[in-house]
Structure 1
Amino acid sequence: MAVASRADTARVFARVLLPTLAKGVILRRPGVVAAAEKLRLDGSAVRTVRRMRERYGPEPLRLRVTGRSFALLLDPADVQRLLDQSPEPFALATKEKRAALGHFQPHGVLASRGAARERRREFNEQALRPDRRCVDVVRDEVDLLVRHAASTGVLDWDSFAQAWWRAVRRIVLGDAARQDQALTDDLAKLRAAANWAYLRPRREALRRDVERRLARHLERNADALAPPEMVGQVPHWLFAFDAAGIATMRALAVGGSDRWAVLESVRLWPTTPVILRESTIATRWHGSWLPEGTTFVVFTPYFHRDATRLPFADRFAPEVWREGTTDPALVPFSGGPGVCPGRDLVLETAGEALAVLRSQLEFGPPLREPLPPTLNHFGLRFPVHRSG
């Protein structure tokens, strides 16, 4: 198995990992995302990973990091193996992930291992099943958004995000939470601190206060399942819905109108650009052994935009999902046993939001192809008018 030179390790960190971290893994930083779009940083990162594969071959590439074992995956089959064999022997709760998520959801399923993870995962899968009420809530809030956009002639990120979060609070916490923007604002403060992982002290008092307010909403909602267990999981759900809102706005930019467009939006601009796993035992890869505790890195934009493998790499191709993709490295919601438990709920809500917006508003032409490697959702602004 190849080991990257110190210079190439530095290139991977400088051009791939650090720009991704700078944009904000847990909460996007608007200024950095705007700069990344202007500088086309994701395109540079994809080219860097491609050069690593050309230089070292398709096997996992070990990075030279003092005191740690890191491996960058470069082949779709290895990505599939890593995800299919999670959480054992490839745990989702890596050191970096636990440090980041500990700021706002220390008991979330992504930060858990063993029996606790299994119990929490099962609960998440049961609680996040889509139902008719979710669709009705989205229609209510998007109808109001349509009226606002039609009156101003513009649909932008700020107005979309306000409507989206009202719908999300109703879906997750009940109708009484609709106007509790202060709650999601405080959660955003915790997520902003989480961007720094173990480099910033945790705001425990604020986290406990947010949890108490979450518990009050859940106890008030007659439809809630097992509120004590939910309090530890809800911050993750809200975190995931934030990414879903970003994907929905980007899908509008490329002319999308359904759930397939949401999947394609996340292929084009992954909301989880880096997937991490940590081995719980020594593992064998193509004849070589990697030690226990190795952190495996999957840079999803490379696999989602690899023009040498995907003829549709830089175009809007929802038919890939409608017809059923067989590419193991297209993982908009991760994959294997660690696939996002809220996948169906997110696709249902985001797809409904797109359908309502497209049915009631006329938008300008979509983005031109080839589509940009980075898309700043904060800066999206669509001139609109009522359909018909």
Structure 2
Amino acid sequence: MPATLPRLSVGETVRVAVGVLAPMLAQGVIIRRPGVVSLADSLDTNRHACRILGDLRERYGAGPVLLRLPVRELAVVLDPDDVATLLDGSPRPFTPANREKVTALRHFEPMGVLISGEERRALRRPWNEDVLDHRESLHRLHDHIVAVVAEELEGLLPSDAPVLTWDRFTPVFWRIVRRVVLGDAARDDEAITDLMVALRAQANWAFLRPRSTRRLRELGRRLRTYVADADPQSIAGVVARTPGVPGTAELGQIPQWLFAFDAAGIATYRALALLTGHPAAMAEVRQEDLPTHRGLRPLARATVLESLRLWPTTLTILRDGVEETHWSGGTAAPGTGFAIISTFFHRDRSRLPWADEFEPAIWDDGRAEISRALVPFSAGPAQCPGRTLVLDVTSELLAGIVSQFDVAAAPPVRIRSERAMPRTLAHNRLRFHLARRAAG
């Protein structure tokens, strides 16, 4: 009988649980808890997590290692090649509908493709890709996205508040998201955003909190209204024009898109910090020639991707093995959970010379593609189908901010071009001085 994967000692398991898993769970895997995010920044939890996982890789070599958990087998991935194996192997032998993920996401998207079984996923995934233009460079609504972003940017700089904070940025960002996803009629529908916040806050507790069927019904009712009377220049309009086969559960896919935009906002705000610390890059973003690049905003897009590489918003990527699988260190039984700790691979100094640097060129020159453990939108058959839409919105927003405003980091300044990028960065502590740029 082949050997099973190496199992960590009790002491090593405790070290991983306390130094790697606990900080992620405490920050909130579905919606961030601001106070804990700030504490994680102060403690530099990402740096400690990377050190712990690096020590394990040095001791055990390639191949996942099993934690000594009382309730189920969980394997932590330590080798970049194994990241590619896991993500390329979805939905079989590694299902994205991981047990922990299903328990959490069912609170607000019980019919979402991410937690669908193999049969339902085969119906829902192609429809998601079609609506979201997954395989395109720009979403079909690109021109409308450009217009929405330009209109809403006016709200970033009230005359009495020249300092941009996270709390000031988020209302503007969500107005953009609601208009793009649900239509102009949803611009001021803060209630639907608050409803998603409440449901996601429950999801942070997974099986420890019962589902709120009342809130779920209310969310479904509101989404149904926007799709039934769809703004043609919105994703809801695309949904209305793209009927699925029975079992697609079209309305049931929309909560995941709204959920994904929360991480997109965090990434955009951190990307703004990257540009303030790298003035030459900011100047280049301002000069990007849209006709030449067919609307792509290449450096703005690469800056958002660098934000996601340096400070992943998906803290861990989860898969469950649906059958026995074989690795360099041994075998894993069916039902084994696998965890990919994103920051460990995105900031892997032993393999990435630029791990702690702002290096947007990697997204254009092939280095990111070769480094297959760089997965800001996951990878493989279960890669985020909203990648095109998210990058379209976020790159336009980032470019729009620096084009319309002079932006400088306000104390406490965390990003400087001559320093290595911090391993942990609390987005809610970033502040920027804004001043409107002269026309022309």
TM-score (norm 2): 0.85
**Residue type at the aligned position of 1:276:** L
CA contact (8 A) 2:192 2:222 kept: yes
Q: Specify the SS of the correspondent of 1:229.
A: coil
**In structure 1, how many angstroms separate the alpha carbons of the residues matched to 2:81 and 2:341?**
14
**In structure 1, how many angstroms separate the alpha carbons of the residues matched to 2:422 and 2:154?**
27
**Residue type at the aligned position of 1:125:** E
Partner of 2:12: 8
**In structure 2, how many angstroms separate the alpha carbons of the residues matched to 1:136 and 1:323?**
30
Are 1:345 and 2:389 an aligned pair? yes
- 1:352-371 correspondence runs (5 A): 352-364=396-408, 367-368=415-416, 369-371=419-421
**In structure 1, how many angstroms separate the alpha carbons of the residues matched to 2:41 and 2:329?**
40
Q: CA deviation at 1:63?
A: 1.2
CA contact (8 A) 2:152 2:176 kept: no
Q: Specify the SS of the correspondent of 2:249.
A: helix
**Residue type at the aligned position of 1:153:** P
Q: CA deviation at 1:134?
A: 4.2
CA contact (8 A) 2:406 2:436 kept: yes
Are 1:385 and 2:435 an aligned pair? yes
Q: CA deviation at 1:145?
A: 2.7
**In structure 2, how many angstroms separate the alpha carbons of the residues matched to 1:50 and 1:271?**
21
Partner of 1:239: 259
**In structure 1, how many angstroms separate the alpha carbons of the residues matched to 2:258 and 2:28?**
16
Partner of 2:290: none
Partner of 2:126: 122
Partner of 1:225: 239
Give per-residue Cα distances to partners, 1:118-164, cap 9 Å, x unaligned: 11111110111253534434543444434642733222212221111
Q: 1:253 aligns with which of 273, 280, 283?
A: 273
Q: CA deviation at 1:284?
A: 1.0
Q: Specify the SS of the correspondent of 2:356.
A: coil
**In structure 2, how many angstroms separate the alpha carbons of the residues matched to 1:141 and 1:260?**
19
Give per-residue Cα distances to partners, 1:55-81, cap 9 Å, x unaligned: 222221111122421111100001101
Partner of 2:278: none
Q: Specify the SS of the correspondent of 1:225.
A: helix
Are 1:131 and 2:139 an aligned pair? yes
Q: Specify the SS of the correspondent of 2:363.
A: helix
CA contact (8 A) 1:303 1:329 kept: yes
**Residue type at the aligned position of 2:427:** H
Partner of 1:192: 201
**Residue type at the aligned position of 1:269:** W
CA contact (8 A) 2:165 2:432 kept: yes
Are the structure 2 counterparts of residues 287 and 9 from structure 1 closer, same or farther at C-alpha, using a change threshold of 3 Å? closer
CA contact (8 A) 1:139 1:356 kept: no
Q: Which moved more, 1:143-152 or 1:67-76?
A: 143-152
CA contact (8 A) 1:252 1:354 kept: yes
Q: 2:422 aligns with which of 343, 351, 372?
A: 372
**In structure 1, how many angstroms separate the alpha carbons of the residues matched to 2:71 and 2:342?**
25
**In structure 2, how many angstroms separate the alpha carbons of the residues matched to 1:387 and 1:184?**
32
Are 1:25 and 2:29 an aligned pair? yes
Give per-residue Cα distances to partners, 1:194-244, cap 9 Å, x unaligned: 011101111111111111111111111142424783310000000001111
Pairs aligned (count): 388
Q: Specify the SS of the correspondent of 2:53.
A: helix
**Residue type at the aligned position of 2:381:** P
**In structure 2, how many angstroms separate the alpha carbons of the residues matched to 1:211 and 1:32?**
31
Q: 1:279 aligns with which of 302, 309, 321?
A: 321
Q: 2:212 aligns with which of 203, 206, 209?
A: 203
CA contact (8 A) 1:93 1:278 kept: yes
Partner of 1:176: 185
- 1:35-74 correspondence runs (5 A): 35-74=39-78
CA contact (8 A) 1:92 1:110 kept: yes
Q: Which aligned runs of 4 or more in structure 1 are off by greater than 6 angstroms?
A: none
Are the structure 2 counterparts of residues 371 and 225 from structure 1 closer, same or farther at C-alpha, using a change threshold of 3 Å? same
**In structure 2, how many angstroms separate the alpha carbons of the residues matched to 1:284 and 1:147?**
54
Q: Specify the SS of the correspondent of 2:192.
A: helix
**In structure 2, how many angstroms separate the alpha carbons of the residues matched to 1:351 and 1:65?**
41
Q: Which moved more, 1:135-144 or 1:80-89?
A: 135-144
CA contact (8 A) 2:64 2:329 kept: no
Are 1:140 and 2:148 an aligned pair? yes
**In structure 2, how many angstroms separate the alpha carbons of the residues matched to 1:360 and 1:287?**
54
CA contact (8 A) 2:96 2:319 kept: yes
Q: Specify the SS of the correspondent of 1:297.
A: strand
Give per-residue Cα distances to partners, 1:236-258, cap 9 Å, x unaligned: 00000111111000000010641
Q: CA deviation at 1:176?
A: 0.8
**In structure 1, how many angstroms separate the alpha carbons of the residues matched to 2:379 and 2:84?**
8
Q: Specify the SS of the correspondent of 2:29.
A: coil
Q: Determine what percentage of the aligned residue pairs are the same residue.
A: 48
Are 1:318 and 2:327 an aligned pair? no
| RMSD (Å) for aligned C-alpha atoms | 1.7
CA contact (8 A) 1:268 1:373 kept: yes
**Residue type at the aligned position of 2:404:** Q
**In structure 2, how many angstroms separate the alpha carbons of the residues matched to 1:133 and 1:330?**
28
Q: 1:81 aligns with which of 60, 81, 85?
A: 85
CA contact (8 A) 1:275 1:298 kept: yes
Q: Specify the SS of the correspondent of 2:338.
A: strand
Partner of 1:159: 168
Partner of 2:296: none
CA contact (8 A) 2:155 2:172 kept: no
Partner of 1:328: 372
Q: Which moved more, 1:336-345 or 1:147-156?
A: 147-156
Q: Which runs of 5+ in 2 are unaligned?
A: 276-281, 286-299
